[in-house]
Amino acid sequence: MFALAILAASTAPAPAAQKPGPVQVYIMAGQSNMDGQAGKHTIDFIGEDEDKERAALLKVFKPDGTNYMTREDVWCTSFGAHGILQTGFGGRKNYDKIGDKIGPEYAFGQFMAEASPRQIYLIKYAPGGQSLYQNFRPPSAGVPEGGKPEDYGNQYRGMIANVRENLANLNKNFPGYDEKAGYEIAGFVWFQGFNDQFVSEPQRKEYGKNLVHLINDVRKEFGKPNLPVVVGVMGVNGVRNEGGKQKDIRDGHRYVNTVPEFNGNVKAVESAPLLHPKVVELRCAGWLYPERDLAKQPLTEDEQALLRRAT
Q: Report pLDDT digits (tens) over 34-59.
A: 999 999 999 999 999 999 999 999 99
Domain with CATH 3.40.50.1110 in the chain: 2-275
Residue 26 makes CB contacts below 8 A (sequence gap 6+) with 108, 112, 120, 121, 122, 123, 186, 187, 188, 189
Please count the residues of the chain. 311
pLDDT score for 17: 60
> What count of Cα atoms within 13 Å lies in the side-chain half-sphere of residue 121?
27
DSSP state of 123: E
- Please give the average per-residue pLDDT across 219-234, as a whole number: 98
Residues 106 and 103: their CA atoms lie apart, in Å, by: 6
Beta strand 266-270 pairing with 120-125: unpaired
Sign of CA dihedral 162, 168, 172, 173: positive
**Is residue 249 a contact partner of residue 196, using CB atoms and an 8 Å limit?**
yes
Q: DSSP 3-state assignment of 71?
A: strand
Instruction: Say how many Å lie between the first and final Cα of the chain, rounded.
Output: 13
For residue range 88-147, list pLDDT tens digits in order: 999 999 999 999 999 999 999 999 999 999 999 999 999 999 999 999 999 999 999 999
pLDDT score for 2: 41
Q: DSSP 3-state assignment of 166?
A: helix
Residues 191 and 127: their CA atoms lie apart, in Å, by: 12
For residue range 119-130, list pLDDT tens digits in order: 999 999 999 999
- Exposure of 202 by Cβ count < 10 A (0-12 exposed, 13-18 middle, 19+ buried)? exposed
Tell me the CATH class for 2-275.
alpha beta
